[in-house]
Structure 1
Amino acid sequence: MHLGCMILFLFLASFDVASQSLPKLTPRQLAVNQLVNASRILASQGVADDCAGHISIRDPLSSDTFLITGGSRTPAQVTPADVTVARINDSQVISAALEDHEPPIRPAEIFIHSSIYQRFPNSTVNSIAYYQAEQLLPWSLFSSDSAGINTSLVTTDDLTGFFATTSGASFLGPHPAPVFSIFDDDPDAATIAVDDVAKGFSLATRFGPADATVASVNETDGFRPLVLMRNDGATVVGTTVPEVTFRFVQAVKSARIQHHASMLSAQNGSVPRFVPAQAIKSSDEYLRSWLLWISQVENAMAADVARSPELWAGSGNAAGTGAGSENAASMKGPLSKGLALIVICTTISLASLLSL
């Protein structure tokens, strides 16, 4: 047998053995588990604190609904019981994501999610996160009148725009992140919250044309994965929950770097060199970071499961059956499932190499 095929066979065999010892999750449980992990990771990474914020994913059981973290707990304390099912067309809460739980409190800004899901297909947007990240707020305070500028044309006058400074933030594209302001449409608005359909629709348009693809991020009128929100925070979109989480963390890191670079620029008038268009990426290599971050929140999650196991129970089956201690236990092991994911991804990568 060819050596490469032998190695691939051994990888597949090892995964088959490992998978037999892993808890079996329903599609709804997998989605809920990712949202809980992401919420706690974003809190751990300093993106989310006690302010408003939530993350969502399209419902794996229905194209008409999505799952979103809600309730009254902070992002660092979110449990499966805090994930709700809402309709895309009218933002109405249908039920809790897992059975045996009361529907969590609907986030006031749920219209952010429903409006974006309506505007873009799942091949472009499958997950959305909105948080009041203070690191990004300074750039939300300036109008984005440099939208036609790309990183090769930036001058010192454009440094109030938010650009990509690192490879991790290159998903932003070569243009400054758009800034959404509720006050552009309603100068007399009494709140900055995106708390109705009209505001949600207006925000959704800032991510680009409805037919824009993720590959159009380099284009002047292309897709924009991150939109800053005046006096509020930012909304980030992507195709998976781990990708959106990675993007939010990388955007915050890039904001810190740009802040320091701008201070240095003020000393001598030079312009920071942002990521050029040819180095922009429309997809992210987030697996390594995602698995590390899960390991960092795992102990706190395990302690919460032990303290309140009822908040982690429920299978999320369409028929609403199958809750119990086995399902509660299945939500305990983000790291073990992560290790299985490593095997899968390693196998896929190895298979790709062997096919060359």
Structure 2
Amino acid sequence: MHRVFIPLDVTEPQIPPLQAVSRTFCGNSMGTSWTVQLFCLPAHDAQTLQAGIQAELDLVVTQMSTWEQSSQLCRFNRLPALEWQALPPEFFKLIDYSLYLSQQTGGAYDITAGKLVDLWGFGPAGKRSTAPTEKDIQAALRAGNWKSLELDHLHRRLRQTGSIALDLSAIAKGFALDQIARYLDSQEISSYLIELGGELRGLGMKKDQSPWWVKIESPSGSNGNIGTQHQEYLVALHGLSVATSGDYRQYFEQDGHRYAHTLDPRTGYPVTNELASVTVLHQECMVADAMATALTVLGCSAGLEYANQHQVAALFLQRTTNGFEEKMSKALIAMLD
């Protein structure tokens, strides 16, 4: 059985002109692959579009990658205590929104968890097969949290207050999709579907006047001991983005216990709330990306309450002994067709 979601409060999608041609572009970035499907005029040069898309992705990597040691983020992480670093507008926007979301969620979302991410084996330091010690976890927590960051709005700069290590992996991919969308908009392309590492952003419709239908990523089949199949979810992706945070993507097992890659920055440990996945739909993929992580950390009950208070369209799939239990926020229910 399908659940179908239709976007609300968006402009009427434009039908591509008769002379529009379908093109698909693809490549690699940020440790994953990307694909852009679009309809454009014959006058649009394919090589120019490919290069323009890649340039937006390269900009995000240059500024925000934890893996490229020359990135602005890595340079900030190496700064001596109390030094300032000037931020380009894109980097500043992510820090500004991240601090807002941290405050809103009581620290459930925190971009200063870089040392924790590395410690648990989910960062550039490499994978691990055993849980770190309590002593090491507490040391990583003492490196600082979001409240330790000093962001100077007037001069658009950020202060390294001690030994903070930023990690933007829960928001940078989403922002990269937004950057690609802004580029395509600037080229007057009004029908496209962008995918990067499982996250999506779409606009417009196809020549047959059908929308860009996408499936919400599912944890079904990711764990052999899950029995009951849940519904299939379809979204008409016009003026919308979709991002999913799931405990089935990256994890390691030790003594029968699974440690997933989504960490609770308040405790220093991976989340253990039985949430298999959280999917968020939002106009900005940056917001959907970060919000999916924040709601996962909050858990189903507190996450659903937050989503309802802030009109966030969110789908929660929670593991039970009988399979998955589905919970939807009011904003998502309103989108049901």
With the shorter chain as reference, the TM-score category is under 0.3
**Structure with more of its chain in strand, by fraction:** 2
TM-score between the two structures when normalised by the length of structure 2: 0.26
TM-score between the two structures when normalised by the length of structure 1: 0.25
- Larger Rg belongs to: 1
